[in-house]
Amino acid sequence: MLKKTLVALALGSALIGGQALAADYVIDKKGQHAFVNFKISHLGYSWLYGTFKDFDGKFSFDAAKPEASSVSVTLNTASVDTNHAERDKHIRSDDFLSVGKHPTATFESTAVKSTGEGTADISGNLTLNGVTKPVVIAAKFIGEGSDPWGGYRAGFEGSTTLKLKDFDIAMDLGPASETVELILSIEGIRQ
């Protein structure tokens, strides 16, 4: 009886200890349960929406200690898709993303700060169009748990607004089009 109790206590301690540590996740690119979308005003008359179809990354997450979390993402800038081939070609040009010179964009977190129940600000360095600038992503925890295939997943959404000129994107479409909103939906599989 004592032996069973000790084993149960040891297992319980191991499980509790495991939950207190940050877990590592890979963004679910294969199942495409992750999105990097954007929204920008078109001359102040309407909204133009787009997405980047090719990116990957990883994150570390500890719900009990969010400040121990981290994020790293690499995005293929040529994968931009706004549902219009000629516009996509223009966005890939030197007027905007200069994909020939800068085929990838990256984000590396530098700090995570809890801002409330299930929310956090993720500070980090975004490199886009050959320029690295600090940005803050307002993130919200969506949920976590087991999936039907024997894995364990966690998901988040987030957003940030970028000034195009901060990243040497000089194309001027007027004051209404000086910023772009990034809208992120990220689901990761625990490793």
* Per-residue pLDDT tens over the stretch 119-131: 999 999 999 999 9
* Per-residue pLDDT tens over the stretch 56-114: 999 999 888 999 999 999 999 999 999 999 999 999 999 999 999 999 999 999 999 99
User: What are the φ/ψ torsions at residue 55 (nearest 5 degrees)?
Assistant: -155, 160
Contact 162, 180 (CB under 8 A): yes
How many of the other CB atoms lie within 10 Å of CB of 111?
13
Domain boundaries, the chain: 22-190
Give me the pLDDT at residue 44, please.
92
> In 3-state terms, what secondary structure has residue 99?
coil
* CATH of 22-190 given 3.40.50.1980, 3.30.420.60, 3.40.50.300, 2.40.128.110: 2.40.128.110
